[in-house]
Amino acid sequence: MAQDNSTKRIAVIAGDGIGKEVIPQALEVIRASRSNVEFTEFDWGADRFLRDRTTVPPDGFSMLGRDFDAILAGAFGDPRVKTNIHAKEILLGMRFKMDLYANVRPVRLLDAALCPLKNVEPKDVDFVVIRENTEGVYTDAGGIFKQGTPDEIATQEDINTRKGVERIIRYAFDYCEQHTKLDGSPRRRVLMCDKSNALTHAGSLWQRVFKEVAAEFPQIETQHMYVDALCLQMVRDPGQFDVVVTNNMFGDIITDLAAGLQGGLGMAASGNIHPGKTSMFEPVHGSAPPIAGKNVANPFGAILTSAMMLSHLGFTQEAARIEAAVLDAVRQRKTTQDIGGTLGTREAGAWIAERVGHD
């Protein structure tokens, strides 16, 4: 999106658990960056649901699309809501009903000390996973029959449409063409990850579309890997990856593994994007009930997510300053305990805000 002078309107939905702790830190950092944005906060989440049974108010998704330039979300999930219905309706609702079809998850190692692998440097972990976000096994197609009997049957359909597969693969190629690595070198290769040796029907569609779309981008190298092989390779030699495109479920799983390479779930950022529409940005981690409310959650995933959002809105310099401050904090161990520091959530966030404010 090109930079313009208008104030960008951001809907903020902190949600549940550690979302309520990390998002306020992200907001402080954005304020310190002096980006021309204004926030409107929404109380959607478990507390609201338990109070009045509202998950998303009527017209909620249209309102977000109409009145805001971007959404910054925290996490959704609470042990008091056993069905997790509110999380499903809010988070999957935004992804599906607002048609945010590209889940973009950058995987970057900021400091060698954060990686559990031996002899891996930041230059070896700098790839991005583009996950299909609106189809696959997450559409809830299927059902349970003869529940509670010995003959019970459960089916979960894997939905893959020509349109859905084509647009996510094209997004990956466009992304590869338009983005550079952290060191400034161009991105060169799109790898498609599937399980087409076993899931042959869906695999056939993905394979055919990948070849067709790749032909439009002759300057970009292509590669294919089965998802099981990819998991092994990600641990053995993460430096070989550049842009990875995959379906909803494989993208969900491999990005948790990828988060491990960059220092854990507390470090991973993501965007849920539909080019030209209001998009939603959220850290990869969830509500993490065991650590919620203790001021120990790492706010850097949420802070890096806010940098990703600012960059998407055209505030590229502000985003770069925030990323530089996080890098500094990691190097100086001004971090929470999960990545080797001694600070609490608020203190780590305040350190970044202070640093960004002085830039």
Strand pairing class (269-273; 279-283): antiparallel
Give the nearer residue to ligand ATP in terms of CB position, either 65 or 77: 77
Q: What helix, strand, coil percent values describe the chain, rounded to 5?
A: 45, 20, 35
- Asked about 118 being catalytic, the answer comes back as no
For position 338 contacting ligand ATP by CB under 6 A, the verdict is yes
Query: With contact defined as beta carbons under 8 Å apart, do 313 and 69 qualify?
Result: yes
Closest approach of ligand ATP to the CB of residue 339, in Å = 8
Per-residue x/- track, 270-309, ligand ATP (CB under 6 A): ---------------xxxxxxx-----xx--x--------
Query: Considering 47, 256, 338, 359, which one is annotated as catalytic?
Result: 256
Count residues binding ligand ATP (CB under 6 A).
16
Residue 160 in tokens: 């893959």
- Asked about 138 being catalytic, the answer comes back as yes
List C-alpha distances in Å: 95 to 71, 186, 272.
11, 29, 7
For position 340 contacting ligand ATP by CB under 6 A, the verdict is no
Per-residue x/- track, 33-72, ligand ATP (CB under 6 A): ----------------------------------------
List C-alpha distances in Å: 277 to 152, 162, 280, 300, 311.
42, 21, 10, 26, 15
Measure the CA–CA gap between 352 and 185, rounded to whole angstroms.
27
Query: Considering 111, 195, 242, 334, which one is annotated as catalytic?
Result: 195
Contacting residues for 327 by C-beta, under 8 A, at least 6 apart: 110, 111
Give the nearer residue to ligand ATP in terms of CB position, either 271 or 286: 286
Measure the CA–CA gap between 149 and 99, rounded to whole angstroms.
38
Give the nearer residue to ligand ATP in terms of CB position, either 142 or 289: 289
For position 77 contacting ligand ATP by CB under 6 A, the verdict is yes
- Asked about 52 being catalytic, the answer comes back as no
Residue nearest to ligand ATP according to CB distances in the complex: 286
Residue 290 in tokens: 């065991």
Which of 11, 14, 18, 128 binds ligand ATP (CB under 6 A)? It is: 18
Closest approach of ligand ATP to the CB of residue 15, in Å = 9
Measure the CA–CA gap between 73 and 286, rounded to whole angstroms.
11
For position 266 contacting ligand ATP by CB under 6 A, the verdict is yes
- Asked about 252 being catalytic, the answer comes back as yes
Which of 30, 32, 72, 75 binds ligand ATP (CB under 6 A)? It is: 75
Task: Please report which residue ranges of 145-287 form alpha helices under DSSP H.
Answer: 162-178, 200-214, 227-236, 248-261
For position 314 contacting ligand ATP by CB under 6 A, the verdict is no
Nearest partner of 246 among 169, 181, 174, judged by Cα: 169
202 to 231, contacts with ligand ATP by CB under 6 A? none
Measure the CA–CA gap between 132 and 102, rounded to whole angstroms.
6
Query: Considering 67, 228, 237, 277, which one is annotated as catalytic?
Result: 228
- Asked about 242 being catalytic, the answer comes back as no
For position 105 contacting ligand ATP by CB under 6 A, the verdict is no
For position 98 contacting ligand ATP by CB under 6 A, the verdict is no
Give the nearer residue to ligand ATP in terms of CB position, either 191 or 288: 288
Closest approach of ligand ATP to the CB of residue 156, in Å = 19
Which of 71, 129, 261, 265 binds ligand ATP (CB under 6 A)? It is: 265
Residue 42 in tokens: 């929404």
Nearest partner of 72 among 97, 44, 96, 47, judged by Cα: 44
DSSP type of residue 32? H
Query: Considering 69, 111, 242, 252, which one is annotated as catalytic?
Result: 252
Measure the CA–CA gap between 171 and 104, rounded to whole angstroms.
10
Give the nearer residue to ligand ATP in terms of CB position, either 115 or 176: 115
Nearest partner of 133 among 268, 275, 265, judged by Cα: 275
Residues annotated as part of the active site: 138, 195, 228, 252, 256
Residues at the contact surface with ligand ATP, assessed by CB under 6 A = 18, 75, 77, 265-266, 285-291, 297-298, 301, 338
